[in-house]
């Protein structure tokens, strides 16, 4: 028999969800079979699996140790540490980490061999002696995504409460999100643009129009900051958050992002190639949090900014204090 005491990182979730994470290598259907046979109990009583776990709940598993080891694995020992890959932390506390993603790094794996921000997060926690944040039933992970060649701020939950709260704030759009973009063309005035976005999975490309039957509603604000030759440095507020939203909307306006091959115009693509721009010049720059209480009071109404990207400096020597 093996006993597990529910920690703060594991409380608040359904018992069957916890067990599915704990017995990650178990065949489908085993968990409910073991619950029915009282080989897995909660607080020494038979459980259905739909119970909400609380701190200090006791889970008892009546199986042979080698069977438990086979089904659970060793979570921390499975994590690889990456010594030579940058992971730039902008803010951290006991519940969240905000990191500055480099262009070219995946937000999450596309295939098993990939190294994404989630792998770098786990590596960082191991290197900083915080493996206690990682359990059999909870794995810290980022709550938002950025395109591979978009740089900037990402939010990770490193406790279950942190993960749930940040995901909620992102879903309800309570976190204000601002980007910097270098676009092709001269943007004369600030503005706000909306529309309806639809994704084509085959091409991994989106289209936007004004027909509400054609997709999800999107909304974006923008303002020009500086000009140089045929480029404009633009600050963008992402009001909704859909895949490729900023890239597609700026292109629709006639101001494609420099370096963007997917949504660029022939002129902007030719310019980007001539200037040796290697990626779309789009950067998740600023996050403003709402008023928060209790365990999230430390980040309440906080305004977090990232560093101004080096590849932007080729065109604009902007100082972030101006915005």
In the CATH hierarchy, which fold is given to the domain comprising 74-171? Answer: Pseudouridine synthase (3.30.2350)
d(CA 302, CA 275): 37
Mean pLDDT of 307-320: 87
Tokens representing 131 are 């493996």
Confidence at residue 10, expressed as pLDDT on a 0 to 100 scale: 87
In the CATH hierarchy, which fold is given to the domain comprising 178-283? Answer: Pseudouridine synthase (3.30.2350)
Domain ranges of the chain: 2-72, 74-171, 178-283
Mean pLDDT of 16-37: 90
pLDDT classification of 206: cutoffs 50, 70, 90: very high
- 177 pLDDT above the threshold of 80: yes
User: Is the separation of the CB atoms in 239 and 219 below 8 Å?
Assistant: yes
Task: Give the CA angle between residues 149, 151, 152 to the nearest 5°.
Answer: 160
Pairing between β-strand 151-157 and β-strand 282-288 as defined by DSSP bridges: parallel
Confidence at residue 76, expressed as pLDDT on a 0 to 100 scale: 67
Confidence at residue 137, expressed as pLDDT on a 0 to 100 scale: 74
Quick one: which H or E segment has residue 162? helix 160-171
Confidence at residue 68, expressed as pLDDT on a 0 to 100 scale: 87
Which CATH class for the 2-72 domain?
alpha beta
Q: For tokens 């997917």, what's the residue? A: 262
- 320 pLDDT above the threshold of 70: no
pLDDT tens across 65-99, in order? 888 888 887 566 678 899 888 999 999 999 999 99
pLDDT tens across 246-256, in order? 999 999 999 99
Contact residues for 164 (Cβ-Cβ < 8 A; gap 6+): 12, 157
Radius of gyration of the chain (CA): 23
pLDDT classification of 7: cutoffs 50, 70, 90: confident
Q: 154 forms bridges with which residues in the sheet?
A: 99
pLDDT tens across 37-51, in order? 999 999 999 999 999
d(CA 309, CA 218): 26
Q: Is this model's pTM higher than 0.85 or not?
A: no
d(CA 257, CA 308): 17
User: 199 by DSSP, 3-state: which?
Assistant: strand
pLDDT classification of 164: cutoffs 50, 70, 90: very high
How many other CB atoms are found less than 10 A from the CB of residue 174? Answer: 13
How many other CB atoms are found less than 10 A from the CB of residue 312? Answer: 20
Same fold, 2-72 and 74-171: no
């Amino acid at each position: 028999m093996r006993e597990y005491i529910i920690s703060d990182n594991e409380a608040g979730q359904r018992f069957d969800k916890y067990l599915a994470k704990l017995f990650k290598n178990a065949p489908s259907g085993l968990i409910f079979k073991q619950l029915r046979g009282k080989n897995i109990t909660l607080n020494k009583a038979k459980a259905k699996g739909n119970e909400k776990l609380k701190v200090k709940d006791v889970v008892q598993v009546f199986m042979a140790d080698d069977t438990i080891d086979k089904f659970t694995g060793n979570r921390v020992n499975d994590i690889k540490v990456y010594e030579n890959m940058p992971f730039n932390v902008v803010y951290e506390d006991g519940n969240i980490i905000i990191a500055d993603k480099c262009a070219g790094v995946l937000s999450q794996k596309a295939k098993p061999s990939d190294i994404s921000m989630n792998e770098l997060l786990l590596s960082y926690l191991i290197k900083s002696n915080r493996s206690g944040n990682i359990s059999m039933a909870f794995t810290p992970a980022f709550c938002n995504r950025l395109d591979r060649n978009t740089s900037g701020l990402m939010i990770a939950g490193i406790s279950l409460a942190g993960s749930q709260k940040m995901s909620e704030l992102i879903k309800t759009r309570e976190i204000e999100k601002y980007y910097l973009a270098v676009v092709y063309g001269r943007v004369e005035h600030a503005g706000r643009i909306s529309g309806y976005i639809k994704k084509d999975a085959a091409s991994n490309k989106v289209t936007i129009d004004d027909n509400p039957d054609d997709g999800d509603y999107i909304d974006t604000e923008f303002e020009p900051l500086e000009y140089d030759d045929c480029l404009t440095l633009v600050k963008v507020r992402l009001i909704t958050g859909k895949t490729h939203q900023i890239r597609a909307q700026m292109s629709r306006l006639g101001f494609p992002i420099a370096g963007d091959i997917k949504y660029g115009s022939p002129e902007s693509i030719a310019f980007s190639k001539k200037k040796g721009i290697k990626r779309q010049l789009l950067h998740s720059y600023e996050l403003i949090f709402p008023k928060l209480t209790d365990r999230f009071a430390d980040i309440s109404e906080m305004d977090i900014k990232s560093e101004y990207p080096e590849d932007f400096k080729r065109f604009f020597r902007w100082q972030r204090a101006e915005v």
